[in-house]
Structure 1
Amino acid sequence: MKLSLTSGALLTVCGAMMLSAAGTASADELTDRINAGEPIRLGFATAVPWAYPGEGGEPLGFVNAIALVVLEEMGITNYETSVNEWAGLIPGLQANRYDIITGGMYILASRCENINFSDPIGLFGDAMLVPAGNPMGIHNYQDVITTGATLVTGAGFNTVEAAQREGVPDGQMMLVAGEVEILAAMNAGRADAAVQTFFGAQEHVERSEGRFEVTDPADMPGWTQNWVGIGMRHADTDFLEAFNAAMAEVIGGEAWMAAAAPYGYTEFQLPGDDASTEFACANR
């Protein structure tokens, strides 16, 4: 049976679950609710191939796929989904509209002030989406500055901070709601280049029928490579600990790769043995 989901609505997927960790009265609120049989609520924006809803409202994208593998390892198969605009994901989590963010969020110091992150699920870079042939020769933020180009990106994206850090003037920045609006701005010629995740830019190229191309992520500043984690409320520390313990058992394994590979995630995106959320929060 097909299930329907409109943006901001919830989809309940039934299944038996039991969170074995921290079943005591002193556990955090999320752990208590899950142990009481309530579904865990996944929050994400539409950002192909990271996370997006399917035709029936099911959670698609490699971050959702990875999160579900970890949750299953924890014994959790009962969940709901909430689809939101990117800029509203952290406020929505803080407002208790969902329990974890599975949208593919980079672990950044500014975000760590507001939410917790799981251990990293992967290492990723950004790139520029430019017209085919790259007529203005834009490969990075400095090229945007020197050419006077208009650069579009998503409000709340990490690329806003990155562009500001690289010195891109506000007058050359166009902020839109998310991935769909980025492509619309490029198609309409309102922007000369877009900056977004490499995966997101690749998806736009595939949809553009040859109108655009993606620059090499290696042309971007090295510090813009970022680790991605699953976002959680600061208060849900017991759940975070249990989630990280389960992830350590499955990361890079058969179930993990089988779930994420259809969306373009490969072993090259694995976070690395030395990756840590503590480091990312302090240095990104």
Structure 2
Amino acid sequence: MADFPNLSRRGFLSRSAAVGGLLVVPGALAACSKTDTSAGSGDDVLAKLRKQGYVRVAYAGEAPYGYTEGGVLKGEAPALHARIFKALGVDKLKPTLSDFDSLIPGLQAGRYDVVSAGMAITPERCANVLFSEPEFISPTAIMVKKGNPKKITDLASAKAAGVTIGVMAGAVEASYAKAAGIPASKIKTLQNQQDGADAVKGGRVDAFVLTGISLRWLAKTNPTLEVTPTFVPTLDGKKQYSSGGAAFQKGNEALRDAFNTQLKKITSDKSAYVGLLSPYGFTAAEIPPATLKTADLCKG
């Protein structure tokens, strides 16, 4: 698989959130009619969701994957999930804001039905939750001060320069940094995207590592910072493409399978995928290839 081009994004990062209300993703629901699916029609969980008319989703306030703007839930995952659940006969998303590293514990505790946060599919997470098939792929990038004074281009160059890097709490980039040989003393954990940008601006870290699409979105509101070209890190000798998906509770296989049926209809239709997610900077380059399967990603 080739490297991916830089992607443009529009909008801005919103750190505000509405918790517990029923929010509709503009345009995501009206465009789709209800569809009966044999995969989930007999499942108690899906039947309950249909009866109550909403599904509880968790998001982490991380643009462009899941965030609120003006009290409206937006982002790649909510837009995609709203379309899918509408097709499954569930009309609305009921959102809960969570710190990223609390998403899985909250799901396991039953506080919501689905994690709608663009969460990377990893073997460690697969041990605790059920993932959908991949919703997107996204390579990694690094946020630095304008002019890139340390000349950082990837994790290997960060290690060689002896710089301190920031990673988001609970996110997969910490494992990439460790695999690249960066010592733990040079890795600082930050709670969210804006904390990462602020740490770079304030000199607490020299660089902030995250997916390229996230960082380019963040750079829109942090003009003193820039983002390196994307690269594909390795972990245990394997390239890591940061494939993201929806997460479900263990035991909810029928709900996950019904979700996957509708997801495939979108990811196999370039026009549908880009038309739905282009407002969040996603293009055809983010469409996961048909050969990329969650079962393989969970094996590592």
- With normalisation by structure 1, the TM-score equals 0.89
Q: 1:39 aligns with which of 46, 54, 59?
A: 54
Q: May I ask how many residue pairs the two structures share in their alignment?
A: 274
Distance 1:220 1:55, change over 3 A: same
One of 220, 236, 239 as aligned partner of 1:223:
239
- What is residue 244 of structure 1 aligned with on the other side? 260
Change (3 A) 1:42 1:265: same
Q: Choose the corresponding residue for 1:256, options 257, 264, 273.
A: 273
Cα gap change, 1:101 to 1:19, in 2 (>3 Å): farther
- Give CA-to-partner distance per residue, 1:102-141, whole Å, 9 cap, x none: 1011110111011011111111111111111211111122
RMSD between aligned alpha carbons? Answer: 2.3
**Residues 32 and 76 from structure 1, CA distance in 2 versus in 1: closer, same or farther, beyond 3 angstroms?**
closer
Opposite residue 195 of structure 1, the aligned amino acid is V
Q: Secondary structure at the match of 1:128?
A: strand
Structure 1: unaligned runs, 5 residues or longer: none
Write the deviation string for residues 129-184 of structure 1: whole angstroms up to 9, x where unpaired. 11112111111222222211110111101001111122211110110111121112
Tell me which residue corresponds to 1:98. Answer: 112
235, 244, 249: which one pairs with 2:251? Answer: 235
Deviations 1:59-109 (A, max 9, x none): 201221111111122222132011111111111111111111110111101
Aligned to 1:10: 20
Write out aligned runs for 1:1-284 (5 A).
Answer: 7=17, 9-13=19-23, 20-21=37-38, 22-24=40-42, 27-28=43-44, 30-56=45-71, 58-209=72-223, 211-218=224-231, 220-221=233-234, 223-253=239-269, 254-283=271-300
Contact residue 50 and residue 89 of structure 2 kept, 8 A: no
Q: Secondary structure in 2 aligned to 1:123?
A: coil
Alignment check: 8 A CA contact 1:31 1:236 kept: no
Give yes or no for contact 1:127–1:195 (8 Å, CA) kept in 2.
Answer: yes
**Structure 2 counterpart SS, 1:218:** coil
Q: 1:93 to 1:199 in 2, by over 3 A?
A: same
Q: Secondary structure at the match of 1:163?
A: helix
Query: Is the 2:53–2:91 Cα contact (8 Å) retained in structure 1?
Result: no
Report the TM-score, using the length of structure 2 for normalisation: 0.84
Cα distance change of structure 1 residues 237 and 224 upon mapping to structure 2, 3 Å threshold:
same
Distance 2:276 2:37 in 1: 23
The sequence identity of aligned pairs, in percent, is 23
* Structure 1 residues 135 and 268: CA distance shift in structure 2, 3 A: same
Deviation readout 1:29-76 (Å, 9 max, x if unpaired): x324214325201111011111101211x2201221111111122222
Return 32-41 or 199-208, whichever deviates more: 32-41
Mapped to 2, the partners of 1:279 and 1:148 lie a distance apart of: 34
Report SS of the residue matched to 1:231.
strand
